[in-house]
Amino acid sequence: MVRATLLTLALAALLVAPAQGFSIEVKKGNTDLKTIKAGTYRIKVEDKAAIHNFHLIGPGLNRKTSVSFKGETTWTIKLKPGRYTYQCDPHAASGMKGHFRVTA
């Protein structure tokens, strides 16, 4: 039996007055994720804006939602040791990206 932990990856559109700003983050519970142990995880992706996507890239993993997708989806993925990058593809160059490390 595979034990999968639920990890929430959130892509949130935030309105910042007077300009519009966006953020992308990975959280485990209410804490920003910086390091996690290798293993199988259920990941909930929340995309609140149809102008973004969520793209997760790491050792043996390249998974993403479409830019037009808006809503929630759950993936079951295996995280191997190494560095993982998450980003919004259309806005990665402007800083809408981050990373976390997976340890053995």
The tens digit of pLDDT for each residue in 48-84 reads: 888 889 999 999 999 999 999 988 888 989 999 999 9
Per-residue confidence band for 13, with pLDDT thresholds at 50, 70 and 90: very low
The tens digit of pLDDT for each residue in 90-101 reads: 989 988 899 999
Residue 31's Cβ-count burial label (10 Å; 0-12, 13-18, 19+) is exposed
Whole-prediction pTM value?
Answer: 0.82
Residue 91 has φ and ψ, to the nearest 5°, of: -125, 15
Six-digit token string for 28: 């485990």
By three-state DSSP, how is residue 89 classified?
Answer: helix
